């Protein structure tokens, strides 16, 4: 196309060769989402190395009327950072914006560019005896910008909150190419509108985050990790409630998985260490931390653990006696996604409900799925303490997952509707991307959707930044999946 050619010429004359790729072979890895569900072409993939370059590139795209797809580490699960069907698009990937600009142990802040890998940020914090307050499975490859744009959750939300709570300031390139410098690192500022909130969790639909100031936390000095075996979800909930009542924010993680998840691990992950000699229906992984290096966490927890066993809330329990045992317990929880993938995948869901209704929600969904989709198995796991469960449905042998994913299906409806009915959400941490646009339209009322559209139009009137994500637009068609 002539238009593409003009754009390519403008690119090559304005930017260094390291700042873009145009040919298909080099573009391909950036066009496909992590789950390999979406695969649409881009005109080019750009790699700016400075905020000014991002601004220049956005202006160039606007000039050539090309939509922009902001992209980080490509670990998202809802295809929010890859092109959609049917629009000429350019990917702006932030991996070369990878400087830690400043780290400060007095103010407990780090200022870093959006392409910094999460693990790199964690290591920088550790080096000055601080905690970077976000930890999740993809931390080895996800980028800070992506964690902010998706308001990432992970395993420490219970204690530290989601990414939104960690962000003190942002630098953003707006859809018209202007740079907003909101890189403040204050704990308090009330000036009538907290502009950074617009960009956090917006999945790249409001602008491109180029840098952020993030709070750091003191490093815990003691850790106690336990795995409790329980009969059913209500016992898992009771275990969580009693331990949180005792420990408050010192209870940094409370994760849930079931016998089905454990079976997937045993079948597909070599050397899975079985936690108990008996089989149990469900498991709760709990981790308690203390900043007090003289704290005796086991002594603090012993009475409540004894009561949990005496009251038969917990069937059996192991407490990690070493860092290796701790990692082995975590492997059980963190290996489930991988095991599920190795087993052929599942229909994934990411709901949250008020924790008190977790047992009745699981019960309702289980019996309904059994009725409408016999032979399908539930693999429920996730962040029990946040009410956030991944209610994944494993199809029987012979059923193709891509068939399930093509168009809406009664299984997903069952899971999502039950979550909404319970006062919950169909999207707890993964976001909307292009895979959940229809759900958002289905489940949220017209006032809320209208507010969202009004803000989007105000910030991005020509709908150029990440079109087809989050909100549908009159001029675009989008499929649930390719």
Quick check: 300 and 221 in contact, CB under 8 A? no
Among 31, 250, 260, 287, binds a copy of itself (CB under 8 A): 250
Question: Are β-strands 130-131 and 109-113 bridged in parallel, bridged antiparallel, or unpaired?
Answer: unpaired
Among 126, 181, 279, 367, binds a copy of itself (CB under 8 A): 181
- Residues 248 and 250: their CA atoms lie apart, in Å, by 5
Binding residues among 120-159 for a copy of itself as defined by CB under 8 A = 150-151, 153, 157-158
Binding residues among 340-359 for a copy of itself as defined by CB under 8 A = 352-356
Contacts of 290 (CB under 8 A, 6+ apart): 220, 221, 222, 250, 297
Among 14, 126, 245, 462, binds a copy of itself (CB under 8 A): 245
Residue closer to a copy of itself, measured from CB, 43 or 460: 460
Residue 467 sits in the site that holds a copy of itself (CB under 8 A)? no
- Here's the x/- map for a copy of itself, 363-402, by CB under 8 A: it reads as --------------------x--xxx--------------
Backbone angles phi, psi at 192, to 5 degrees: 90, -30
Among 2, 5, 187, 371, binds a copy of itself (CB under 8 A): 187
- Residues 66 and 3: their CA atoms lie apart, in Å, by 10
Among 3, 65, 421, 457, binds a copy of itself (CB under 8 A): 457
- Residues 441 and 426: their CA atoms lie apart, in Å, by 12
Question: Are β-strands 179-182 and 251-258 bridged in parallel, bridged antiparallel, or unpaired?
Answer: unpaired
Residue closer to a copy of itself, measured from CB, 94 or 151: 151
Q: Minimum distance from CB of 22 to a copy of itself (Å)? A: 30
Residue 182 sits in the site that holds a copy of itself (CB under 8 A)? yes
**CA distances for 152 relative to 37, 133, 376, 393, 446, angstroms:** 21, 11, 29, 23, 26
Binding residues among 196-235 for a copy of itself as defined by CB under 8 A = 197-198, 200-203, 205, 217-218, 220
Residue 440 sits in the site that holds a copy of itself (CB under 8 A)? yes
Residue 441 sits in the site that holds a copy of itself (CB under 8 A)? no
Among 25, 190, 271, 322, binds a copy of itself (CB under 8 A): 190
Residue 427 sits in the site that holds a copy of itself (CB under 8 A)? yes
Residue closer to a copy of itself, measured from CB, 286 or 432: 432
**CA distances for 203 relative to 283, 322, 328, 349, 430, angstroms:** 33, 39, 34, 18, 10
Q: Minimum distance from CB of 285 to a copy of itself (Å)? A: 18
What is the DSSP code string of 124-152?
HHHHTTEE-S---TTTTT-BHHHHHHTT-
Q: Minimum distance from CB of 93 to a copy of itself (Å)? A: 21
Quick check: 142 and 115 in contact, CB under 8 A? no
Cα of first residue to Cα of last residue in the chain, in angstroms, is 24
Residue 104 sits in the site that holds a copy of itself (CB under 8 A)? yes
From the list 38-46, 58-66, 187-195, 267-275, the region that binds a copy of itself by CB under 8 A is 187-195
Task: From 280, 270, 269, select the one nearest 318 (Cα to Cα).
Answer: 280
Q: Minimum distance from CB of 294 to a copy of itself (Å)? A: 7
């Amino acid at each position: 196309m002539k238009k593409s050619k003009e754009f390519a010429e403008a690119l090559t004359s304005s930017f260094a060769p390291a700042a873009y790729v145009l040919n298909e072979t080099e573009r391909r890895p950036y066009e496909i989402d992590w789950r390999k569900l979406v695969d649409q072409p881009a005109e080019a993939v750009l790699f700016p190395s400075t905020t000014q370059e991002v601004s220049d590139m956005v202006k160039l795209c606007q000039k050539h009327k090309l939509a922009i797809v902001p992209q980080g580490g490509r670990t998202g699960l809802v295809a929010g950072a890859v092109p959609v069907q049917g629009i000429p698009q350019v990917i702006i990937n932030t991996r070369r914006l990878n400087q830690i600009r400043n780290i400060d142990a007095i103010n407990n802040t780090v200022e870093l560019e959006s392409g910094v890998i999460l693990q790199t940020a964690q290591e920088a914090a550790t080096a000055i005896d601080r905690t970077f307050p976000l930890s999740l499975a993809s931390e080895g490859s996800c980028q800070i910008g992506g964690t902010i744009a998706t308001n990432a959750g992970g395993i420490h939300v219970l204690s530290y909150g989601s990414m939104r709570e960690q962000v003190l300031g942002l630098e953003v390139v707006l859809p018209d190419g202007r740079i907003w410098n909101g890189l403040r690192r204050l704990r308090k500022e009330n000036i009538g509108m907290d502009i950074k909130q617009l960009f956090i969790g917006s999945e790249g639909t409001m602008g491109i985050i180029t840098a952020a100031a993030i709070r750091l936390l003191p490093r815990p000095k003691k850790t106690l990790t336990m795995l409790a075996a329980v009969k059913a979800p209500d016992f898992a909930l009771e275990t969580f409630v009693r331990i949180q009542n005792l420990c408050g924010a010192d209870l940094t993680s409370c994760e849930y998985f079931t016998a089905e998840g454990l079976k997937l691990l045993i079948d597909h992950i070599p050397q899975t260490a079985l936690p108990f000699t008996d089989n149990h229906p469900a498991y709760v992984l709990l981790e308690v931390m203390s900043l007090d290096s003289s704290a005796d966490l086991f002594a603090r927890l012993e009475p409540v653990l004894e009561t949990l066993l005496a009251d038969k809330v917990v069937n059996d329990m192991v407490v990690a006696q070493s860092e290796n045992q701790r990692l082995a317990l975590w492997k059980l929880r963190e290996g489930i996604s991988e095991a599920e993938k190795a087993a052929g995948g599942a229909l994934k869901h990411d709901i949250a409900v008020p924790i008190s209704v977790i047992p009745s929600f699981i019960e309702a969904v289980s019996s309904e799925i059994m009725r409408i989709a016999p032979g399908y198995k539930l693999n429920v796991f996730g962040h029990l303490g946040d009410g956030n469960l991944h209610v994944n449905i494993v199809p029987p042998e012979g059923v193709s997952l891509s068939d399930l994913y093509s168009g809406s299906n009664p299984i997903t409806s069952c899971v999502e509707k039950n979550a909404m009915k319970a006062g919950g959400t169909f999207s707890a941490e993964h976001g909307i991307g292009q895979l959940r646009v229809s759900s958002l339209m289905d489940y949220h009322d017209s006032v809320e959707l209208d507010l969202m559209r009004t803000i989007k139009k105000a910030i991005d009137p020509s709908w150029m930044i990440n079109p087809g994500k989050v909100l549908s637009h009159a001029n675009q068609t989008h499929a649930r999946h390719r």
